[in-house]
Amino acid sequence: MIGTCEQRGWSRDVRRCVSGVQTATDLATCVASTLDDGAADKPKVTQPAITLTASAAAKQLVAGSPEPIRALVFMPETSEVKGVVKGYFASLASAGKLTLEDHDRLTDAGLAAKYRVVRDGTIILARSAGASERSQAIVIEIDIDQGVRDKLPHFDREVRSVLARLLREPHIAYVTSGHGELTDPDTQPAGKKAALSERRTTMFTKRLADLDYQVKDLGPTDLANAIPATRPW
């Protein structure tokens, strides 16, 4: 038996253990327990902690905001990503004008509903201007391994992109209505309306909203007064 152990490259402790066993069951138990003991003596390898720090460009965007910005983090306490994200926004808050808020999506259900938060790992950046408020969302995986592969390596870049959209004054897209347009099918003549299949423009208006446009109807009364002034691009 010892010769066989040496051929297999087992350690001296394992060879000493198996030299006295009589059955295959005893042999398996002896080898497994000895190998486990050896593994316990080996030093454990700990992964370095992941930290994120806001870039100077991100801090400059926050510092230049005309209104305060809120960062609302909706993540469970069990998520390791939460600590990484909160550390990032704590460094971003050093620029001033940004406050960090820690929320649970289920406990703070009313707040989650207000910002349409439907999954853990959602971060809301909100900017208040008088009675109105604008917000943008970032969604990230709450599992640390998936987060490292997903958005954490590019998190600062995504935050800067969201901040830029949040701070930019929105463009307004005026859509005419009241003349039988596709956007206003109820105003089509009865005969024409019956002959044409109904076509909605939901995706069109949604796409404009994704591009940070505010969509407003421009009816006959509005056109009779004046075409709204537009600002330069």
User: For 10-41, what is each residue's pLDDT tens digit?
Assistant: 445 544 554 555 555 555 565 455 555 555 55
Contact present, 31 and 8 (Cβ < 8 Å): no
Is the model more confident about 90 or about 51? 90
| pLDDT of residue 113 exceeding 90 | yes
Alpha carbon of residue 47 to chain centroid: 24
| pLDDT of residue 100 exceeding 60 | yes
Tokens of 121: 């790992």
pLDDT value of position 7: 46
Is the model more confident about 207 or about 116? 116
Query: Mean pLDDT across the stretch 44-53?
Result: 65
For the stretch 170-210, pLDDT in tens is 677 777 766 655 556 665 666 665 555 555 566 777 777 76
Strand partners, 135: 126
| pLDDT of residue 134 exceeding 60 | yes
Alpha carbon of residue 131 to chain centroid: 27
> Within 13 A of 2's CA, how many CA atoms are on the CB side?
7
DSSP string covering 159-221: HHHHHHHHHSPPEEEEEE-SSS-TT-GGGS-HHHHHHS-----HHHHHHHHHTTEEEEEE-HH
Is the model more confident about 182 or about 123? 123
pLDDT value of position 181: 58
| pLDDT of residue 57 exceeding 90 | yes
Q: Tell me which residue has tokens 């969509």.
A: 215
pLDDT value of position 10: 45
Give the domain ranges of the chain: 2-41, 56-167, 171-225
Please name which of 108, 203, 201, 123 lies closest in space to residue 166, comparing C-alpha atoms: 123
Q: Residue 102's pLDDT band (boundaries 50, 70, 90)?
A: very high
pLDDT value of position 109: 93
Is the model more confident about 48 or about 80? 80
CATH fit for domain 56-167, picks 3.40.462.40, 3.40.30.10, 3.30.1050.10, 3.40.50.620: 3.40.30.10
Tokens of 228: 């709204």
Percentage with pLDDT > 70 across the chain: 58
Q: Residue 153's pLDDT band (boundaries 50, 70, 90)?
A: confident
What is the rounded distance in angstroms from the CA atom of residue 134 to the CA atom of residue 127?
5
For the stretch 61-84, pLDDT in tens is 999 998 999 999 999 998 888 999
